Amino acid sequence: MASLLLRGARALLGTEFSLSGPLDVAIADGRIQAIGPAGSLPDAPLVIPLERRLLAPGMVNGHIHSHEHFQRGRHENQPLELWMHNVRPVRPVPLTPRDAYLRTMIGAIECLRSGATTVVDDLTLGAAIDRPLLDAVFQAYEDAGVRALVGFAMMDRAVIDNFPYVDECADAAMLARLRALPRPSPDAFHGLVRELARSRHPQSNRVGVLVSCSAPQRCTEGFLRSSRALADELDLPVITHVQETRMQVVTGQSFYGRTMVEHLHALGFLKEKTTLIHAVWLNPREIGLLAAAGATAQHNPWSNLMLGSGVAPVRELLRAGVNVGMGTDGMASTVTANMLTSVGSAAALSKLRGDDGDWLNAREAFSIATAGGARAFGFGDRLGRIAVGAIADLCAWRLDTIGFTPLADPVRQLVYGERGAGLDLVLVDGEPVLRDGRFVRFDESGLLAEICAAAERLAPEFELAEASVGDIHRVMRAVLARCEAQPVARDTFSARL
């Protein structure tokens, strides 16, 4: 017997998200049990009337950085290679476990309020693994009710050594200080993932763990190989930042004599359930490698805009058969974890490249944000769609709001016009997380007030932390200038106007 019945919704069905007539959707054990015309399915213990509602699959926000959430709105107009040091400062910001809990809830709330029922958190741990702080992050996702996969931005190289030409652009004393900064050991990282996978495997737990190698240039070859082997052994998804900027293409050429995508291919790193985050600066040969491996390219269009990184060649990836997912990235660069901002940006930005036959339409963008994300992280067709047997991660939007009035095409109006104001119901694993526009698991207004108080208390610490990277910024400007003078392959798809 169904435990929950959604009565009378109009739904986005199939891969084309065609609008149905009024339907009933029965849910049991976290899965969609049956779909039928309105009034055709028997009542359940809980019946939620959804007349004048649009039922859609929840989106997969495939990339956030919860460690940035307290830095929302603090930065603007800095390219990645400068900006990134603000969120990995020389001077760390001390946090209590409660601070970490509140910080994590900022992103969980905004993701859910914009229709993202799954979040993938690439969490930087800092100088050491703080288990009480980490436990608070997991507890926040448990309490929020969102589906979450958490990785730990693993690396075994000093941050300053992630870039070429630093020996020529920085003095020896500064380099020595930066190279001596503490960080978890490779064994500590891998031991943490192995331990958590026993109780938090994402295939059997709503809040789970994955393998995150922060980026190829931040990891030695041995660490990349051992991390790949760990993910294969534990059957975990893998994420890594790759070729977000032109400078990173130059970095690959400088470090390996080949691009980072080619380097990962040579190491046997590219496989299914492996996501290359950003993948903005690519050439056709690299796209072919991703397609052959079954890897995913993850599009973060709003982040790439805010940091001036460029526009990813999404149409070229799709034509080659590469799975594409989508994310928002961290709030220190994007100011928002609203997935509808990313989805609308993805469709609109595609219109800067090629002719109208190359542009993404709203349905393609929404499919990337739902089914594409599900495939990327090993859920196949069990997530990101409305079908019998699928996981019941669903959102219902009010059709009597201005964004859907008058109603012509609900997918276009959702992707281009809606930003979350009309969200009425969210289910995760078949359980209501948001109902009648209100969270059912926690007091949102009380949490927001506590978050604001914590941010005010921590603001002086963030100011000191951000001031500690001034010398690094000066070095990075010199490094950027050196990299801009270096050529990249002529057939690299143009990412910037």
Q: State residue 90's pLDDT score.
A: 87
Q: Is the pLDDT of residue 497 over 90?
A: no
Average pLDDT (308-335) is 96
Write out pLDDT tens, residues 156-215: 999 999 999 999 999 999 999 999 999 999 999 999 999 999 999 999 999 999 999 999
Single-letter code of the amino acid located at 369: A
Helices (H) and strands (E) in the chain, counts: 19, 19
Over the chain, what is the mean pLDDT?
A: 96
Q: Would you place residue 95 in the very low, low, confident or very high pLDDT band (cuts 50, 70, 90)? A: very high
322: helix, coil or strand? coil
81: helix, coil or strand? helix
Write out pLDDT tens, residues 210-224: 999 999 999 999 999
CA 331 – CA 339 distance, rounded (Å)? 12
CA 175 – CA 472 distance, rounded (Å)? 10
Percent of the chain whose pLDDT exceeds 70: 100
Write out pLDDT tens, residues 211-266: 999 999 999 999 999 999 999 999 999 999 999 999 999 999 999 999 999 999 99
Contacts of 346 (CB under 8 A, 6+ apart): 299, 301, 314, 326, 360, 365, 368, 369
Domain limits of the chain? 4-57+390-439, 59-385+466-484
Average pLDDT (331-345) is 96
- Cβ atoms of 450 and 414 closer than 8 Å: no
Average pLDDT (381-400) is 97
> Which one, of 145, 142, 140, 118, lies nearest residue 69 by Cα?
140
Q: Would you place residue 9 in the very low, low, confident or very high pLDDT band (cuts 50, 70, 90)? A: very high
Write out pLDDT tens, residues 11-46: 999 888 999 999 999 999 999 999 999 999 999 999
- Cβ atoms of 95 and 455 closer than 8 Å: no
What would the two tokens of residue 51 be? 């007349």
Write out pLDDT tens, residues 355-372: 999 999 999 999 999 999
Nearest 5°: the CA angle 203, 376, 328 is: 110
CATH for 4-57+390-439 is 2.30.40.10
Contacts of 84 (CB under 8 A, 6+ apart): none
Q: State residue 420's pLDDT score.
A: 80
Strand order from edge to edge, sheet including 274-278:
211-212, 238-242, 274-278, 296-299, 323-326
Residue 361, number of CB atoms within 10 A of its CB: 14
The pTM for the full model equals 0.96
Contacts of 348 (CB under 8 A, 6+ apart): 416
Q: Is the domain covering 59-385+466-484 a CATH 3.20.20.140 domain?
A: yes
Q: Is the pLDDT of residue 1 over 80?
A: no
Q: State residue 88's pLDDT score.
A: 86
CA 483 – CA 81 distance, rounded (Å)? 11
Q: State residue 222's pLDDT score.
A: 97
Write out pLDDT tens, residues 443-482: 999 999 999 999 999 999 999 999 998 889 999 999 999 9
Write out pLDDT tens, residues 103-157: 999 999 999 999 999 999 999 998 899 999 999 999 999 999 999 999 999 999 9
